[in-house]
Amino acid sequence: MTLSEFNSIVADTTRPTIIDVWAPWCGPCKAMKPHFDSLAGEFGERARVLAVNADESPEVTQALNVFSLPTVVVYRGGTEVARRKGAQSPSDLRTLFEAAVEGREVPQLSNRSRILRIGGALAAAMLAGQIEPTWPLQILSVVLFASAVHDRCPIVQALARPFSRGTSTNGGG
């Protein structure tokens, strides 16, 4: 895909454009691809969905300022309205797609909130060594840290998968 083709696609004002920037050598990209493709099929009439291979379209990747893979970018009327870096869970991708087609703001954790949560996790971890019993502060430290990195850390996402599966519907009874 050339940059001019890309620019004409995202300029579409009739429906949002959801872009998955990926590469064939990227493990998290491969893990996310089936979920992204499934949602693309489900939301395809209400959103334009693109998969941009970073290796084959470096000009587009550079124009998008993508420095980590995978990255999902949402455009509405030619303007970027959301960006998610790193592998996304199926439920996070669904939330992104739903918000994009409904015209809602895509929820994201601000850098300030992320830093405050990491600082709180460090403070709780340091206090855990000073106060008995230590386990409540250790648990608080882990929860605060996980809440700060859950959207970017593949380890946290992998640990969360067993819990998120219980909320999805499946064919089995």
Can you read off the two tokens belonging to residue 147?
């809440």
Q: How far apart, in whole angstroms, are the C-alpha atoms of residue 154 and residue 59?
A: 27
Does 153 qualify as catalytic in the annotation? no
Q: How far apart, in whole angstroms, are the C-alpha atoms of residue 4 and residue 6?
A: 5
Q: How far apart, in whole angstroms, are the C-alpha atoms of residue 148 and residue 156?
A: 10
Asked if residue 125 lies in contact with residue 138, where contact means CB atoms within 8 angstroms, the answer is: yes
Q: How far apart, in whole angstroms, are the C-alpha atoms of residue 91 and residue 142?
A: 22
Please tell me which residue in 26, 32, 49, 144 is annotated as part of the active site.
26
Q: Rounded to whole angstroms, what are the CA distances from 103 to 95, 119, 123?
A: 12, 34, 39
Please tell me which residue in 10, 18, 19, 29 is annotated as part of the active site.
29
The 3-state DSSP class for residue 19 equals strand
What is the β-pairing status of strands 71-76 and 17-22? antiparallel
The 3-state DSSP class for residue 31 equals helix
List residues with catalytic annotation: 26, 29
